[in-house]
A and B are shown apart, each in its own frame.
Chain A
């Protein structure tokens, strides 16, 4: 729908127009009894715009891709989280068990030493001689308060009070603390029933590093999994939607007139439902259009036969015109003769139109010497003016185009007839070649066509009404120009009317056709 920027008046509601029923358009609002504000005219285009936006937020393909990516992200995060948690638990437990075992062995050794000496220097040597990995820092605190440690910054002074209290109460204990920004496990073991306390700090820095790099790896894996999931989703959606794209192409082909277009069956039973219902629809459509086409043909037979009889009978009468006794009979005969011809033209035009409507109109392409055709078409009309100028563009004299000769002649004849009926006869007929198009123009010096009527006059039965407009002569049946437009369209061209060039009064009817020059 082409939208004008600001309609001057509210668009009246139409029953078949969904938009008017949602209350947003003034017509709809008024119909539902809501007070309509006359000052604010809301064009009915607004709801339509919104409505179109809502379902089009995300395409099916995008949604499938997104769903795959999200699922992959959730699953991989869950897996990574579980892996990380379990691994961390395991590693810490192992590490703690090892530390506790070692501390308890070391405390037994230190218990013997403390029995032998209480000298802090000797105790430090004893501590140094303990079998311990570099990450552990043993220390002892005697009941008297004197301490000995391998590293002063990680000695009994740093042991948390709660640990000390438990150890003093004779309870071996462990606790994870952070000292100087480093995670440590402190193990406290009472020695010789409270005579001393053995403490050991075991650094968990390495473990933390290990866990961190594991986390980074797991995160990376999750990201990759998510991306792969998204890519898989994209690929799958394309694959899944390809049949839909084919349906779209087929539908377009059918709309374009290739009615025998069908979808190929697939091995997928789910898709086959769509394929078969689509093909069923296409078949029904084709049959219906065929039926319509046959109907046109049947109508043709039905209408043409009586017309045939009429025409032949009238011609027999016409050949005896001079023998008729009175003027009234002769006038009646003349009227009948003229209107039988008009009737024939009308039936021909209607059948032509019905073929366009049924989509059965086909071009019968031929090589046509265009200037010659135009010359002949002008010459064969009896109502052309004596002073008509036929401008074939000089060097174009042998311009050969591929076109449907019969339709070309009909177009020209209808334009000439239109000029004769409404414009006082054609003053100039021109053929113009312009790149890959040719134009056939018919000009007259009649009243011209007002700008507002220039589209309408190409519609069916749209003879202009009112004085000064085309159609006042009452001749013709109003199908001529619409057929000109249809024939031009079938050729891939178009027809229009414009002002006569040079500011002179009159109209210029133009048919423009694309030309594959022969």
Chain B
């Protein structure tokens, strides 16, 4: 994405290994993005407080305040998309990171092209409803795509960009089952082989916000073996 009107997209990278940090910065700057670096969690939070970034890249294995904690702290301050980087493709770490608020993850070593693609997907504008509807209503759930607002029982709920995009994808084809692969492609811009747990964890988080009883979802329901759908 080439930035518009001179306002550069800011990317905050948190990585304790100076060599990786520098190499990643070079690769991202090649894409035309402005890159802020932090080598500790504390520094990252400080930088973020001074001026929010558009995308945050966090290495989970950090000395001091660990990546999960940085994720949670940033999540409390902002909806900015967070991509976490883990050296381990350990199921536990990945799910924990996603639950701490990360929107996507990459395992080291990743190809810089892959990282740029993920960041671009995160920066993409929210796709508006195919129908062009300005208001989508499902029982007590109301979505206003243009404003990026979701209300449950007339009360505004706060969704991250990814959660909002996920909900909107489901809402754009109400009652139709969307497989995790389709959701991965449309929401995250991933290929077929991406990790379905991204969808599962985000659906879980979405439910805690849009469902009256997240354990017995009425809106975002699971269709076993097939995927998810928004109940009409």
Contacts and interface: CB of A to CB of B under 8 A. Distances in A.
B108 A305 contact: yes
Interface in B1-43: 17, 19-20, 22-24, 26-27, 30
A267 B110 CA distance: 56
A380 interface: yes
A164 B19 CA distance: 130
B30 A304 contact: no
Interface string A345-388: 00100000000000000101011010011001100100000000
A315 B30 CA distance: 10
The binding surface of chain B is classed by DSSP as loop
The interface size bin for chain B is 20 to 34
Interface stretch (A53-61, A207-215, A282-290, A306-314): A306-314
B165 to A, nearest CB: 23
Of A309, A364, A406, most buried by chain B (CB within 10 Å of CB) is A309
Interface stretch (B45-53, B64-72, B191-199, B210-218): B191-199
A377 B191 CA distance: 11
Nearest to B115: A312
The binding surface of chain A is classed by DSSP as helix
A372 B26 CA distance: 38
Contacts of B110: 308, 311
Contacts of A306: 19
A309 B196 contact: no
Contacts of A319: 30
A158 to B, nearest CB: 106
A391 B110 CA distance: 33
Given A297-B90, A304-B109, A367-B224, A312 B193 contact: no
A409 B193 contact: yes
A305 B19 CA distance: 9
A366 B196 CA distance: 9
B26 A308 contact: no
B87 A300 contact: yes
Given A364-B91, A367-B226, A373-B192, 14 more contacts: A300-B88, A304-B109, A305-B19, A305-B108, A306-B19, A307-B109, A308-B109, A309-B19, A311-B110, A311-B112, A315-B30, A372-B192, A376-B193, A380-B192
11 contacts: A300-B87, A304-B108, A305-B20, A305-B87, A309-B19, A311-B110, A313-B26, A373-B192, A400-B225, A406-B195, A409-B193
